[in-house]
């Protein structure tokens, strides 16, 4: 969802039934804030949102058309993959995803100034 344009996101959220799996599952406004964070940092965190006690860090893989085609992730027990280690794992999965993306022909556009 982090690659969706605003109209795509609105459409998706309107047609997909959202369910809370744990007390940590994000509600719509939290989800929008998290998607902005994902876009900025280049990786997402599932902070016990699907299953209590499990944390996941993931980053998208893009193809030569700059389309998301896969992701690389690391999941583990929240007591081992602690909040303090999320940024470390985020850097690792992002670097791995960037390497695979380049192998698939992805070329990131230069930043606008």
Which pTM was predicted? 0.84
Could you say which of 3.30.450.40, 3.40.50.2300, 1.10.3720.10, 3.40.30.10 is the CATH number of the domain covering 6-103? 3.30.450.40
CB-based contacts of 25, cutoff 8 Å, min separation 6:
19, 49, 50
19-33, pLDDT tens digit by residue? 889 989 887 778 888
Instruction: Produce one character per residue of 61-74: b if its CB has 16 or more CB atoms within 10 Å, e if not.
Output: bbeeeeeeeeebeb
36-80, pLDDT tens digit by residue? 999 999 999 999 999 999 999 999 999 999 999 999 999 999 999
Q: How far apart, in whole angstroms, are the C-alpha atoms of residue 55 and residue 59?
A: 14
Domain extent listing, the chain: 6-103
Radius of gyration of the chain (CA): 15
Q: How far apart, in whole angstroms, are the C-alpha atoms of residue 11 and residue 54?
A: 29
């Amino acid at each position: 969802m982090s690659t969706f344009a605003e109209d795509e996101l609105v459409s998706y959220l309107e047609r997909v039934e959202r369910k809370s799996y744990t007390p940590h599952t994000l509600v719509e406004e939290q989800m929008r804030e998290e998607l902005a964070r994902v876009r900025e940092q280049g990786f997402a965190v599932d902070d016990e949102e699907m299953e209590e006690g499990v944390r996941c860090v993931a980053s998208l893989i893009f193809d030569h058309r700059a389309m998301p085609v896969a992701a690389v992730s690391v999941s583990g027990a929240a007591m081992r993959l602690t909040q303090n280690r999320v940024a470390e794992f985020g850097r690792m999965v992002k670097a791995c995803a960037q390497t695979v993306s380049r192998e698939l022909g992805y070329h990131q556009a230069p930043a606008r100034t």
